[in-house]
Copies of this chain bind each other. A is one copy, B any other.
Amino acid sequence: MPTGEIEIKVKSAQLLNTCKKLPFEIKDFVKKTEALRLQYRYLDLRSFQMQYNLRLRSRMVMKMREYLCNLHGFVDIETPTLFKRTPGGAKEFVIPSREPGKFYCLPQSPQQFKQLLMVGGLDRYFQVARCYRDEGSRPDRQPEFTQIDIEMSFVDQIGIQSLIEGLLQYSWPSDKDPVVVPFPSMTFAEALASYGTDKPDTRFGMKIVDISDVFRNTKVGFLQDALSKPQGTVKAICISEGAKYLKRKDIESLRKLAADHFNQEVLPVFPKANRNWNSPVAKSIMEEQRSELIRLMEIQEDGVVLLTAGEHRKACSVLGKLRLECADLLEARGLVLRDPALFSFLWVVDFPLFLPKEENPGELESAHHPFTAPHPSDIHLLHTEPKQVRSQHYDLVLNGNEIGGGSIRIHDAELQRYILATLLKEDVKLLSHLLQALDFGAPPHGGIALGLDRLICLVTGAPSIRDVIAFPKSFRGHDLMSNAPDSLPPEELKPYHIQVSWPADSEAEKSSLNQPYHPES
């Protein structure tokens, strides 16, 4: 104790307050459920870990402000949270107003406002912005969250990236290893091909390798099938020391995961170890293929290869998922693949501008948002092959988590109209104020938003973002301490001209309370 050597001689004492028996001891080693911690959040906040997390968060945000405001001339500007529905904003909370049938919405981000500020000549904007997203029940998501929101005029992708690298370096806690800049950068295509995801955890290898050429003459049925198709590939990852640390049931669970969640067959191969349990098919792999595999993937003693076949994106995705699962399994056996003291930042760039709509793949939707500028090299494709157009969007990834994203925006009103109306088939009337603003001499501009809760969670090593938020909601969106959301008497809804439509089924309320568990995508 820092005061351990001071002896206090008390002359008089005044009892300021008494304390009833606490529902749990505030000691780190006393295990308690998260529900109990959230119910008595004001007691849980006294724990060493919560004090450390919240104080670190405050200090880090303060350093970010100093960097932006004092060192780089940014202006901290508050934007409204009572706004209107944005096109496609299906996840926005609605707020009835006192005018019948008129609603505000809580915005998912200050995107429109920050672009309008650029038109308004406030050329370096930032805000620690509260944002809202109603996603129903999602573990480790919060209906309200905070982002470091930044926008600049006359800037390019490299300009924003350098700013953010400097920002993180400057604000990084002094008790952690310093941040090394610049951060490496990787295209979306490379991230997908090597890591099977747009947010690769680059703290460890186990990269995906295309081994299609090795298996051109294979007799293994599902590889043959895949390679006979025009887009067919064979892909693999190699688990170093896998044969030593992974058990038969581990490999079984990995294959089951691939089958259940991706409908993909995965074949384990032990190219150097003589243990082909669980992969009778592997016996059909010829010696020539085996040695080519060892050469191509640099396989060591005890290396295990997981291979799968199919269309490029799908094969990569399943191996990307298995790569993370393998890391979990190996770490559970005592290996360290992901050093907890290591912070591995990565820019992912050159995303596609559009994706086929999930519900109707013939139509396009924005991969990120409709204000993202196309890649300058691909503009000519907008009118001919829009699906091939890359964007000027960039994501910042930390240890396999997306902690930020941004883009250079469209500042040309005609281009924005073309993309909204012709390509995306959106109702441009809802965005007429933004289109009109671009018409009045909007400067080229771009920006980024960092997810503050996730960032602090990674910096502190907290198990959940709820541990870096003073008063978080449960994964069902409840405040377990105060019991929000709560019922309201009908007369309090009257001024807002709304009434509750009670579900016809009397069980409906109950079932809505027991929404299914949605794992994070």
Using a CB–CB cutoff of 8 Å, the interface residues on chain A facing chain B are 16-20, 22, 40-46, 50-51, 54-55, 58-59, 61-62, 65-66, 69-70, 75-85, 90, 93-106, 112-113, 116-117, 119-122, 130, 132, 134, 136, 143-144, 146, 411-412, 433, 437-444, 469-471, 473, 477, 479, 481-488, 492-494, 496-503, 508-509, 512-513, 515
Contacts and interface: CB of A to CB of B under 8 A. Distances in A.
Given A80-B144, A82-B143, A100 B512 contact: yes
Contact of A440 (B20, B78, B143): B20
Contacts of A59: 69
A234 to B, nearest CB: 44
Nearest to A498: B498
Contacts of A492: 85, 90, 94
Given A81-B81, A98-B136, A113-B471, 18 more contacts: A17-B442, A41-B116, A42-B116, A54-B75, A80-B144, A80-B471, A82-B479, A82-B484, A83-B482, A98-B134, A99-B513, A100-B502, A100-B512, A103-B487, A105-B484, A494-B501, A498-B498, A498-B501
Contact of A102 (B80, B121, B485, B515): B485
A411 B130 contact: no
B17 A443 contact: yes
A59 B69 CA distance: 8
Contact of A78 (B65, B121, B146, B438): B146
A66 to B, nearest CB: 8
A120 B45 contact: yes
Given A100-B512, A484-B83, A441 B17 contact: yes
Contacts of A103: 485-488
16 contacts: A17-B442, A19-B439, A22-B440, A40-B440, A41-B116, A42-B437, A45-B116, A62-B70, A80-B473, A85-B492, A99-B485, A100-B500, A101-B487, A117-B470, A120-B470, A498-B498
Contacts of A62: 65, 69-70, 76
A76 B58 contact: yes
Contact of A130 (B45, B98, B130, B471): B130
A274 to B, nearest CB: 56
Contacts of A79: 470-471
Contacts of A76: 58, 61-62
Contacts of A99: 485, 509, 512-513
A502 B112 CA distance: 31
Contacts of A440: 19-20, 22, 40, 42-43
A497 B83 CA distance: 21
B502 A497 contact: yes
Enumerate the 8 nearest inter-chain pairs by beta-carbon distance, A residue then B residue, closest first.
Answer: A45-B120, A19-B441, A84-B484, A102-B485, A97-B485, A42-B119, A58-B76, A42-B116
A120 B41 contact: yes
Nearest to A115: B42
Contacts of A488: 85, 94, 101, 103
Contacts of A117: 42, 45, 470
Contacts of A484: 82-84, 104-105
A377 to B, nearest CB: 17
Nearest to A486: B84
Contacts of A122: 45, 51, 54, 470
A412 B136 CA distance: 38
Contact of A17 (B143, B146, B444): B444
A167 B228 CA distance: 73
A146 B78 CA distance: 9
A152 to B, nearest CB: 14
A20 B483 CA distance: 53
A42 to B, nearest CB: 4
Contacts of A498: 96, 498-501
Contacts of A51: 121-122
Contacts of A44: 120
A82 B20 CA distance: 30
Contact of A144 (B81, B116, B494): B81
A78 B470 contact: yes
A27 B190 CA distance: 51
B46 A120 contact: yes
A491 to B, nearest CB: 10
Given A16-B443, A58-B69, A473 B98 contact: no
Contacts of A90: 492
B482 A101 contact: no
A486 B69 contact: no
Contact of A486 (B70, B85, B503): B85
A62 B130 CA distance: 18
